[in-house]
């Protein structure tokens, strides 16, 4: 069986072969411990790690001294939230985040609530963006940290980061952002955007899985309580021997992304536009979830009215995409992100997330659109909901037996 | 998730998709499930003079297992009396399609759809007899 066309770059990306090539020597000939100070094995590994650190710093326009390597964005987000609250939380026990954040931020926030901290979860507007006035109103003199992601992992919308940063700076509150979906896709500038902490994921930028980074501002200084204690590596904020191979991989991935960002952004925008116009030419009642303008170039989240997402995915099994529908997860709840936007539950069940990436070709985009059009048409023909919609029956007027 | 060939066959080549005249005294319609839960089945059955089911049609909004379950029951109910149709159990549907455990609710919905269609038909007949 030939493998399906991969259109799920928001879930993960393949490691770029150029990245793998740079990593390989650090598993074998340069196997040293980067923290060994007494011989050339250690020095070589340390040089590689520091070179990688500089590359991660470059894409964020910061000093390498402000970059901490971690195991991934989940750890970075945990360290940012728990670390800041742990250090400043006695005086300022309040954290502000948002209902559409990644689970690793929301779950960490819940954990902090259980520890006695106070958390405000900002709602989002129907376009998926937060209301800046609501953010301003939520900040109090007890607020230590605001954590709002740059780009959403399900719907691809981009929050007004610079404006959020400015509000936080004016109010003397630290600003952390989960940039797992944004690094390498949109230009980032920590000073211009007033970002104090930022989480990076390796495997979302064509780097390896198992590595990430946290940017921690030095001026004005942000202090963190470490989660992992030990030998005091990473300026005491994250102990444990670094993996030079993984660090080199993340560094090279960032360097490539920085170099190719403009070109890739344009290419993926063309793909998204092509796909959308092909689909809309053939199908009515296709809704783009999330803001149309403020979004990642290559990410689409579409609801196909009358067609259940998982049923659709079974029909398009030559495409690797994901669905906001319930049944993909074990729970029967549809996506909490779509629900937060106020998308009707039945429309949330009809959504597909399609994301294009560095290795997507125009042929693949055309094949995907053609297949999706064909299957949506077929499934709408056998959909009682589509039939009712065509007859002008309001689905909300029917007394459904919820099960 | 690996699906059985039987399930995939019903999904790719569903039997008896469509509708029957819901206003006909010989047609019973069952509409079960809810859009908010991600599956809705409409099952219609038609009975002949002798009281056996002569035709069945369905439309389903849902995952592949829901579509296959409803397609299968349209085949199974044909030629059966209403009582025989009502005795079809979700476990038989689940077993025939080798539904994975998380999809058992699809077979339960198909069983409910048969019961709802039979009830609609019997209600119609009772009303017709009373009038």
Give residue-wise pLDDT tens across range B80-106: 999 999 999 999 999 999 999 989 999
Q: Reply yes or no on whether the pLDDT at A328 is more than 80.
A: no
Q: Reply yes or no on whether the pLDDT at A298 is more than 50.
A: yes
What ipTM was reported for this prediction? 0.94
Mean pLDDT over B55-84 rounds to: 97
- Chain A residues with CB under 8 Å of a chain B CB are 306-308, 310-311, 314-315, 325-327, 330, 332, 334, 344-346, 349, 381-387, 395, 398, 400-403
Q: Tell me if A183 sits within 8 A of A204, measured CB to CB.
A: yes
pTM: 0.93
Give residue-wise pLDDT tens across range A305-321: 999 999 999 999 999 99
Q: Reply yes or no on whether the pLDDT at B131 is more than 80.
A: no
- From chain A, the residues in CB contact with B37 under 8 A are 326, 332, 345, 402-403
Q: Is B39 on the interface with A (CB under 8 A)?
A: yes
| Sign of the alpha-carbon dihedral angle for A74, A75, A78, A81 | negative
Residue of B nearest to A314 (CA): B64
Q: How far apart are CA A170 and CA A153, in angstroms?
A: 28
For A3-7, the CB contacts below 8 A with 24+ separation are: A4/A317, A4/A318, A4/A319, A4/A320, A5/A318, A5/A319, A5/A320, A5/A364, A5/A367, A5/A368, A6/A320, A6/A357, A6/A359, A6/A360, A7/A319, A7/A320, A7/A321, A7/A354, A7/A355, A7/A356, A7/A360, A7/A364, A7/A368
Mean pLDDT over A198-217 rounds to: 98
- From chain A, the residues in CB contact with B17 under 8 A are 381-382
Q: Do A400 and B40 touch (CB under 8 A)?
A: yes
Residue of A nearest to B14 (CA): A382
Is residue B63 annotated as a catalytic residue, yes or no?
no
Give residue-wise pLDDT tens across range A178-193: 999 999 999 999 999 9
């Amino acid at each position: 069986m030939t493998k399906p066309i991969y259109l799920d770059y928001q879930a993960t990306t393949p490691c770029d072969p150029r990245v793998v090539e740079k990593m390989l020597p650090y598993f074998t000939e340069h196997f040293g411990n980067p923290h060994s100070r007494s011989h050339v094995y250690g020095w070589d590994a340390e040089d590689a790690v520091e070179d990688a650190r500089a590359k991660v710093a470059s894409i964020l326009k910061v000093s390498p001294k402000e970059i901490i390597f971690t195991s991934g964005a989940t750890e970075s987000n945990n360290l940012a939230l728990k670390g800041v609250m742990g250090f400043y939380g006695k005086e300022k026990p309040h954290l502000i985040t948002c209902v559409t954040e990644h689970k690793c931020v929301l779950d960490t926030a819940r954990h902090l609530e259980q520890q006695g901290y106070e958390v405000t979860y900002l709602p989002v507007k129907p376009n998926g963006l937060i209301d800046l006035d609501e953010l301003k109103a939520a900040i109090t003199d007890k607020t230590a940290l605001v954590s709002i992601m740059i780009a959403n992992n399900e719907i691809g919308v981009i929050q007004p980061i610079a404006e959020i940063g400015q509000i936080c700076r004016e109010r003397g509150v630290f600003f952390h952002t989960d940039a797992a979906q944004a690094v390498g896709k949109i230009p980032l500038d920590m000073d211009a955007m007033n970002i104090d902490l930022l989480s990076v994921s390796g495997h979302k930028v064509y780097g390896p899985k198992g590595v990430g980074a946290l940017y921690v501002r030095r001026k004005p200084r942000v202090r963190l309580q470490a989660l992992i204690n030990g030998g005091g590596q990473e300026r005491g904020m994250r102990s444990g021997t670094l993996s030079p191979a993984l660090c080199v991989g993340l560094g090279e991935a960032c360097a490539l992304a920085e170099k190719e960002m403009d070109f890739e952004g344009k290419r993926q925008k063309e793909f998204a536009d092509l796909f959308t116009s092909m689909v809309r030419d053939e199908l009515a009642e296709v809704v783009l979830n999330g803001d149309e303008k403020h979004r990642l170039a290559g990410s689409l989240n579409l609801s196909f009215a009358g067609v259940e997402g998982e049923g659709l995915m079974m029909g398009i099994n030559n495409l690797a995409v994901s669905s906001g529908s319930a049944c993909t997860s074990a729970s029967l709840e549809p996506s909490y992100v779509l629900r937060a936007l106020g998308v009707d539950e039945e429309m949330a069940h009809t959504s597909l997330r399609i994301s294009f990436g560095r290795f997507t070709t125009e042929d693949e985009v055309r094949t995907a659109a053609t297949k999706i059009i064909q299957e949506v048409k077929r499934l709408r023909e056998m959909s009682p909901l589509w039939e009712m919609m065509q007859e002008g029956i309001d689905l909300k007027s029917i007394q459904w037996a919820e099960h | 998730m690996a699906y059985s060939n039987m399930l995939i066959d019903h999904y790719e080549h569903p039997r008896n998709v469509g509708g029957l005249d819901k206003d006909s005294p010989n047609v019973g319609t069952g509409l079960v499930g809810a859009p908010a839960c991600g599956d809705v089945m409409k099952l219609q059955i038609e009975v002949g003079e002798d009281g056996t089911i002569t035709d069945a049609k369905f439309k389903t909004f849902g995952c592949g297992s829901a579509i296959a379950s409803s397609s299968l029951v349209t085949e199974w109910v044909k030629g059966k009396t209403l009582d025989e149709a009502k005795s079809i159990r979700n476990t038989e549907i689940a077993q025939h399609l080798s539904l994975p455990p998380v999809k058992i609710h699809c077979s339960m919905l198909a069983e409910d759809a048969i019961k709802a269609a039979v009830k609609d038909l019997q209600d119609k007949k009772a009303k017709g007899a009373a009038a």
